[in-house]
Amino acid sequence: MLRSPKFANIFGYLEAERRRATPFAMGGPTASGAPQIPQASSATQDLQQFMVMIEQFGEMREVMEDIRDLLEAWPQHLRVINDPRDILDGVRVLNEIEADSRINR
């Protein structure tokens, strides 16, 4: 295969590149120049969507912190106060309403 004229140019090119370039294992580049991502590529769109999601998560975090602050201010101890006078006053009001709402014959 090395002596075949069909593949001689390919092997010559590969050998020249091998001698010219610094191998990747020795810190050589894998491609010339910086990679360019076109503006309309799916990677760019994915990155933009990811950045939008990060902003939304930041807003959600602020809301959750506000909710946490409100919950910390929520009463933690509840008491039941049973005053019989309040009950008697309520019964009296109910009796008055019932008496006023009767149809007189």
User: What is residue 102's predicted lDDT score, i.e. its pLDDT?
Assistant: 77
Residue 25 token pair: 């294992």
Q: How confident is the model at residue 37 (pLDDT cuts 50, 70, 90)?
A: low
Strand (E) or helix (H) holding 96: helix 84-100
Q: How confident is the model at residue 64 (pLDDT cuts 50, 70, 90)?
A: very high
Annotate 25-75 with DSSP letters as a single string.
Answer: GGT--SSSS-----TTSHHHHHHHHHHHHHHHHHHHHHHHHHHHHHHHTS-
Which tops the pLDDT comparison, 63 or 48?
63
Give the amino acid at 9.
Answer: N
Which of these, 1, 36, 26, 27, lies nearest to 14 by C-alpha position? 1
Which tops the pLDDT comparison, 96 or 11?
96
Q: Would the pTM of this model clear 0.85, i.e. be above it?
A: no
Which tops the pLDDT comparison, 9 or 21?
9
